[in-house]
């Protein structure tokens, strides 16, 4: 497959094939761990939608899916330090087994905020599945139950992750060149 024209300023980091393989492995782990439980995937918008879609198809269990919108970046490449809920859940989660599906855990600030918020809603359990972790930037320790890949401290796009709402449709993950970020 040729590199999309959109990706001329993106250095590939994780291939489409490696993403598919790891997401399938994660789906098998989740299927095993949640056997016989009532699972809800809680997808963090917007960056997690591609990962969540692929992951859901790899989980061989009945499951519900809900979405929450959070933002701490805006049009920046660095977290602002302030987390905002931009879209709340569509139904209560009390008594449910929640699996939070995140695209990337960077500083841990957003996930720490979300987990505290969710626990106040009294779910049966809360676990985290993150496609990416960037340990070099971690400020708040977050337990990641299902981790796709550890990556270096670089700004990545593709496979749902964006820069200023662009690059989400790339089928791979890559590092966005500094020149493209302005």
Catalytic residues: 106
**DSSP H or E run through 40:** strand 39-45
Q: What share of the chain is helix, strand, coil (3-state, %, to 5)?
A: 30, 30, 40
Strands 39-45 and 97-105: parallel
**DSSP H or E run through 21:** helix 16-33
Residue 49 burial (CB < 10 Å; 0-12/13-18/19+)? middle
Chain Cα centroid distance, residue 1: 25
- Residue-wise burial string across 89-120, b where 16 or more C-beta atoms lie within 10 A, e elsewhere: beeebeebbbbbbbbbbbbbbbbbbbbeebee
């Amino acid at each position: 497959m040729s590199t999309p024209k959109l990706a001329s300023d993106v250095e590939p980091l994780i291939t489409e094939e490696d993403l598919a393989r790891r997401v399938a492995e994660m789906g098998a782990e989740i299927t095993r761990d949640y056997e016989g439980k009532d699972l809800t995937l809680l997808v963090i918008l917007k960056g997690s939608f591609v990962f969540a879609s692929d992951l859901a198809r790899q989980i061989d269990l009945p499951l519900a899916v809900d979405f929450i919108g959070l933002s701490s970046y805006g049009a920046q490449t660095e977290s602002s330090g302030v987390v905002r809920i931009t879209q709340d859940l569509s139904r209560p989660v009390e008594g449910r087994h929640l699996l939070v599906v995140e695209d990337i855990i960077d500083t841990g600030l957003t996930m720490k905020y979300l987990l505290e918020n969710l626990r106040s809603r009294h779910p049966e359990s809360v676990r985290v599945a993150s496609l990416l972790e960037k340990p070099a930037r971690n400020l708040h320790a977050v337990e990641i139950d299902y981790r796709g890949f550890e990556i270096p401290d670089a700004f990545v796009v593709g496979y749902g992750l964006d820069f200023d709402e662009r690059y989400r449709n790339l089928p791979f993950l890559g590092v966005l060149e500094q020149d493209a970020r302005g």
